A and B are shown apart, each in its own frame.
Chain A
Amino acid sequence: MNGVHDMGGMDGFGKVEPEPNEPMFHEEWEGHVLAMMRALSNAGAFNIDMSRFAQESLPPRVYLSSSYYERWFRALENMLIARGYVGTREVAEGHALEPAKALKRGKFTVGDVERIMTRGQFGRAAPGLAKFRPGDRVRARNMHPLTHTRLPRYVRGHVGVVECDHGCHVFPDTAAMDAGENPQWLYTVVFDGRELWGPDSDPTIKVSIDAFEPYLEPA
């Protein structure tokens, strides 16, 4: 979806402001949000692509005015409600009122914590041959799905060069919609800064994205 989350190339957000000696969490509740998100995801209530889509689906005004962990919290609550794990009355009252829905991997317990300290594996067996090879010129498709995609707007319609392939990976566009892993070839595609930002752009800039095969066409 063409949401405000797709920020690459937007102007007007001001300077980057690093915070010296930044703490890991600024508020205690932030750690709890992180933990709930990781635990419920690992227990199988949703996948990572669904959680990204849930954040992108927040109203633009909310997305832009919320801190990172506020966004996580709102996305988490919305997903759990939409997927039937909790009810709106339950979160409003702060107590369980309805029977639980079974989690794919069961209750998340202390013994499961190690599972989340290892990153998920997203590589999958190839369903077919790769369409592109390193060195190929490709155009990022001019596509505007209303649902989740990982093709940023700033490259759409532009020509780049395939630098390498990473094998086949879970396809976020379908996984986010609960429509299956649908593995696709994944390539690093490099764009010249002037191709993206025009002839006046800094000629020393190159930008790459990791693009799934359905995002690309021969150029």
Chain B
Amino acid sequence: MTEHDHDHHDHSELSEIELRVRALETVLTEKGYVEPAALDAIVQAYETRIGPHNGARVVAKAWVDPDFKRALLADATKAVGTLGHVSRVGDHLVAVENTPERHNMVVCTLCSCYPWEMLGLPPVWYKAAPYRSRAVKDPRGVLGDFGVSLPAETEIRVWDSTAETRFLVLPMRPQGTEGWSEEKLAELVTRDSMIGTGFPKTPGAPS
């Protein structure tokens, strides 16, 4: 990509933040700190290589392969590393399993820590004040905002990502999926179900 090929924009239409971002990028380039093509390549890598499909494959495999599931819950970094299909996840991925007794939910109250390699870049709501402030105090209320409700007696465990550990929720496998292939199961696994603010899709339901 050429430098700043914002084809249909001229400067008069640019917002203050756009102008400042461009100015900084120009300074960094002129000073020889970065190659502009490297910045474009980073954006492209994020746009094409990471995303919830990575986590979905891990979850689907755990649903069909009990050995993998045990390994995932024991050491998620190592278990995911054996799949070789996603960028390496660093040392500190932790998978937490939803059960009928316990529902897990992940937040970062202090900033926006999120398992990028598993789920991609976080959605705006994950990074915004309403979720970050309320998830640890009123998780049922937050789930309500997502249209999700749990039985009153289900324990809700909220994981505040305050260090470099990253959490992936392993949701419960939907009923009516006996005999399904990993690939087909992975299509049921939503991003929110791996954060703990949603459930996987159910077979036959509109997506």
Contacts and interface: CB of A to CB of B under 8 A. Distances in A.
A16 B38 contact: no
Given A40-B28, A96-B31, A34 B161 contact: no
B39 A96 contact: no
B83 interface: no
Interface string B118-137: 00110111011111111111
A39 interface: yes
Contacts of B42: 34-35, 38-39, 113, 116
Contacts of A26: 124
Given A13-B130, A35-B43, A95-B26, A110 B35 contact: yes
Given A7-B133, A31-B43, A68 B125 contact: no
A131 interface: no
Contacts of A127: none
Contacts, number: 255
B33 A43 contact: yes
A90 B20 CA distance: 11
A173 to B, nearest CB: 11
Nearest to B129: A13
Interface in A47-96: 52, 55, 64, 67-68, 70, 73, 76-77, 80, 85-86, 90-96
B184 interface: no
B125 A107 contact: no
Contacts of A8: 107, 109-110, 132-133, 135-137, 160
A61 B47 CA distance: 31
B21 A202 contact: no
Contacts of B127: 68
B71 to A, nearest CB: 17
Contacts of B180: none
A113 B33 CA distance: 14
Interface string A163-194: 00010011010000000000000101010000
Interface residues of A, number: 90
B38 A73 contact: no
Interface string B96-127: 00000000000101111000110011011101
B40 A35 contact: yes
Given A31-B46, A112-B38, A210-B165, A73 B132 contact: no
Q: Which of B42, B159, B197 has the most CB of A within 10 A?
A: B42
Interface string B144-157: 01100000111111
B28 A15 contact: no
A95 to B, nearest CB: 6
A156 to B, nearest CB: 12
B140 interface: yes
27 contacts: A8-B109, A8-B137, A11-B133, A13-B133, A14-B130, A16-B134, A24-B121, A31-B47, A32-B21, A68-B112, A70-B17, A109-B38, A116-B45, A118-B87, A119-B88, A120-B164, A121-B90, A151-B162, A152-B110, A166-B163, A197-B137, A204-B156, A205-B155, A206-B155, A210-B160, A210-B162, A210-B163
Interface of B: 6, 17-18, 20-28, 30-35, 37-43, 45-47, 49-50, 87-92, 107, 109-112, 116-117, 120-121, 123-125, 127-140, 142, 145-146, 152-165, 192, 197
